[in-house]
């Protein structure tokens, strides 16, 4: 099993500073998992630990899955690698012109299909929940989700009614923009390293 912290550190995927997250919140830490995913062997090792746990759930009859879906952008490569390791089809949702997460490009979900949602980082769970809405609207069932890093704060309520499997649990320190301690201290302005627009 990969030492996830060491791998993320080697890939320079763990960043420290002053960040504006897609949720609109501020944080002193950011995980740029694209830096991990640029190395297929390292990504396979990190995601492999999660895949092993899912295989065990399947073998012991606690989980069944038909496909993996990753929200764009961060979840695309994660979904495909998890699908490869589990022998499942993998595809992705993406935002339309109105910013709504949708299934496009001819991807389909058949009624009753059991879906695992794959993400790079989960902080608030917003992208995962938006993807779940699309899956359910097409008649699918979300049976679990996975991520490389679970950053949900220690005191956060669990947003998911299904199990979350994470390669690394690293609770985030988050602030609302108007309450950000880094802003109060006059630190450098918050930067937004992610790809998603703030809605």
Say whether pLDDT at 195 is over 70: no
pTM: 0.86
Say whether pLDDT at 198 is over 90: no
pLDDT (tens digit per residue) in 154-169? 887 788 999 999 999 9
CATH level 2 (architecture), domain 4-184: 3-Layer(aba) Sandwich (3.40)
Segments making up each domain of the chain, as ranges: 4-184
What is the pLDDT confidence band of residue 197, given thresholds at 50, 70 and 90?
Answer: low
Kindly report the backbone phi and psi dihedral angles of residue 137, in degrees, each rounded to the nearest multiple of 5, phi listed first.
-65, -25
What is the model's pLDDT at position 102?
Answer: 86
What is the pLDDT confidence band of residue 37, given thresholds at 50, 70 and 90?
Answer: very high
Q: Which residue from 47, 71, 42 is spatially nearest to 194, judged by alpha carbons?
A: 71
Q: What is the per-residue burial (b if ≥16 Cβ within 10 Å, else e) of 37-56?
A: beeeebbebbbbbbbebbee
Transcribe 94-115 into DSSP letters: EE-TTS-EEE-TT----TT-EE
Average pLDDT, stretch 31-39?
Answer: 94
What is the model's pLDDT at position 59?
Answer: 95
pLDDT (tens digit per residue) in 64-110? 999 999 999 889 999 999 999 999 999 999 998 988 888 888 888 99
Residues in Cβ contact with 153 at an 8 Å cutoff, skipping those fewer than 6 apart: 171, 172, 173, 174
């Amino acid at each position: 099993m990969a030492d996830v912290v060491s791998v993320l550190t080697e890939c320079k995927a763990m960043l420290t500073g002053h960040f504006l997250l897609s949720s609109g919140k501020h944080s002193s830490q950011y995980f740029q998992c694209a830096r991990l995913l640029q190395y297929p062997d390292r990504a396979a090792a990190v995601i492999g630990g999660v895949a092993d746990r899912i295989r065990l759930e399947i073998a012991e009859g606690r989980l069944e899955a038909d496909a993996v879906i990753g929200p764009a952008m961060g979840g695309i490569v994660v979904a495909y690698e998890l699908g490869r390791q589990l022998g499942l089809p993998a595809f992705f949702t993406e935002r339309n012109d109105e910013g709504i997460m949708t299934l496009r490009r001819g991807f389909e979900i058949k009624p009753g299909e059991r879906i695992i949602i794959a993400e790079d980082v989960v902080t608030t769970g917003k992208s995962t929940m938006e993807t779940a809405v699309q899956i359910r609207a097409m008649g699918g069932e979300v049976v679990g989700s996975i991520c490389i890093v679970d950053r949900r704060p220690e005191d956060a309520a669990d947003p998911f009614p299904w199990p979350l499997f994470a390669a690394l649990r690293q609770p985030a320190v988050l602030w609302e923009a108007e309450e950000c301690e880094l802003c109060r201290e006059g630190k450098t302005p918050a930067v937004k390293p992610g790809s998603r627009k703030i809605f």
